[in-house]
């Protein structure tokens, strides 16, 4: 195929995906602190996690002056209340305009043109692009015809993109893109890509796997040049996704297959310094990344559950710190077990702000059970005998005392052990 230099015009507030190495959209792993961490280590653009259109429609946009963030909130239908019996709002999406506003793409999960436009309109003035998820194969995404399910309804997918191009681009002056997967055959993929490029989008991201494929299966790259050529003919930027592990490799793949950019997912979830060039230090030690991540989480008062989830990805499972962090229940505790004394004062303040008692020393129920069992076993080993629980069970069953072959004396059904 011959290629041309044609380009779809980039809207004034939009961004050109060409020459960019970016953070992939990942549920839970693409929240605000993860995006800021990726940018800190050199990501050119960041995608937020897929957000379903219905969850954004009807949200309230507010500015958090303390954290300098923009939050889109709503009151859950269940009507949960806080400790003061006030209805508790849920934060659906957060953006830090100063630190990421000019580099953040909002990804919407949708199966309807009208809802897609409504959801995009809520957030469009605070981001530089709207991306339609047409590649996620997980049930929460494909439910209702969203995500990878859209690959089976190409006319619907095109109508969604056309509606966004028609309604959002003129009003907010940002670009529209779509993220897809490979279809069953190269011919079907080629046909789909041509249709998508004709909708007016500025970018197309191709995950080099088919819908049934899992992340552990090797990415298929044989169709990349064909896809890149079609995009180039239409003036649409083409980014590749799938088995891209660091900036150096991304640059090599861009050169080899003629795509315009690359997207990193799993590798960034484990260590965001994968975006850093070798000249800037390359991959950083996990301890450094953990400390930087915790600093970022504290700065934006990230939900503790989400912070802990990512820490369990960043800290290698074979490290002793992994189990210690798994047992923590607050920012204060995690700073203590990781030896980050300089962050403890800030951690205590954030714990209080998000409703966690920083002085609690209680472990989770499962961890406490394991700890009690361990202590009991240690005590038994030190005493050279069976545990009290074992002796109680034997006595209650009427098992004779093995030392003198006499029934055990008992008080309230519990054997007295000398």
Known catalytic residues are: 136
Residue 127 per-residue DSSP state: S
Dihedral (C-alpha) 312, 316, 317, 322: value to the nearest 10 degrees?
-60
Tokens in use for 125? 């003035």
Residue with tokens 């992939």: 24
Residue with tokens 């005998």: 385
Q: Are strands 129-134 and 175-182 parallel, antiparallel or unpaired?
A: parallel
Q: Are strands 60-64 and 69-74 parallel, antiparallel or unpaired?
A: antiparallel
β-bridge mates for residue 47, sequence order: 105
**Any residues with CB less than 8 A from the CB of 15 and at least 6 apart, and which?**
45, 102, 103, 105, 128, 129, 175
Helices (H), 72-223: 97-100, 113-123, 139-142, 154-172, 186-197
> Radius of gyration (Cα) for the chain, nearest Å?
27
Helices (H), 137-213: 139-142, 154-172, 186-197
Of 277, 281, 247, 279, the closest CA to residue 261 belongs to 247
Other CB atoms within a 10 A radius of the CB of residue 394 amount to: 16
CB contact at 8 A, 386 and 380: yes
Distance CA 414, CA 417 (A): 9
Q: What Cα–Cα distance (Å) separates residue 298 from each residue in 5, 185, 408?
A: 45, 47, 58
Tokens in use for 417? 């052990």
CB contact at 8 A, 398 and 406: no
């Amino acid at each position: 195929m011959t290629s041309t230099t044609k380009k779809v015009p980039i809207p004034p507030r939009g961004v050109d995906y060409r020459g960019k190495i970016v953070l992939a959209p990942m549920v839970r792993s693409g929240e605000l602190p993860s995006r800021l961490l990726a940018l800190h280590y050199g990501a050119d653009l960041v995608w937020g996690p897929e957000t379903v259109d219905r969850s954004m429609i009807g949200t309230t946009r507010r500015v958090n002056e303390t954290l300098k963030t923009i939050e889109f909130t709503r009151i859950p239908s269940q009507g949960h209340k806080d400790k003061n019996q006030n209805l508790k709002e849920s934060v659906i999406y957060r953006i830090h305009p100063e630190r990421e506003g000019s580099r953040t793409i909002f990804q919407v999960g949708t199966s309807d043109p009208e809802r897609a436009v409504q959801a995009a309109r809520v957030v469009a003035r605070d981001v530089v692009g709207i991306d339609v998820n047409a590649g996620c194969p997980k049930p929460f995404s494909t439910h209702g015809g969203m995500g990878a399910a859209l690959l089976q309804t190409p006319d619907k997918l095109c109508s969604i993109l056309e509606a966004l191009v028609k309604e959002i681009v003129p009003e907010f002056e940002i670009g529209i893109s779509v993220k897809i997967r490979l279809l069953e055959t190269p011919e079907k993929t080629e046909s789909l890509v041509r249709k998508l490029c004709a909708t007016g989008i500025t970018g197309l991201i191709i995950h080099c796997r088919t819908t049934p494929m899992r992340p552990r299966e090797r990415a298929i790259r044989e169709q990349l040049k064909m896809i890149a050529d079609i995009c180039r003919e239409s003036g649409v930027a083409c980014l590749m996704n799938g088995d891209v592990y660091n900036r150096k490799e991304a640059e090599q793949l861009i050169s080899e297959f003629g795509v315009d950019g690359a997207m990193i997912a799993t590798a960034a979830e484990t260590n965001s310094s994968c975006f850093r060039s070798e000249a800037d230090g390359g991959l950083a030690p996990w301890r450094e990344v953990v400390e930087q991540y915790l600093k970022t989480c504290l700065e934006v008062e990230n939900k503790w559950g989400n912070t802990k989830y990512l820490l369990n990805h960043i800290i290698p499972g074979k490290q002793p710190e992994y189990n210690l962090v798994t047992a923590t229940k607050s920012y204060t505790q995690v700073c203590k077990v990781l030896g980050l004394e300089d962050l403890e004062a800030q951690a205590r303040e954030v714990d209080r702000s998000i409703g966690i008692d920083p002085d609690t020393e209680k472990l989770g129920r499962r961890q406490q059970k394991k700890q009690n069992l361990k202590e009991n076993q240690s005590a038994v080993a030190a005493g050279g005998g069976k545990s009290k629980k074992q002796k109680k069970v034997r006595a209650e069953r009427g098992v004779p005392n093995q030392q003198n072959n006499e029934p055990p004396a008992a008080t309230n059904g519990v054997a007295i052990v000398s």
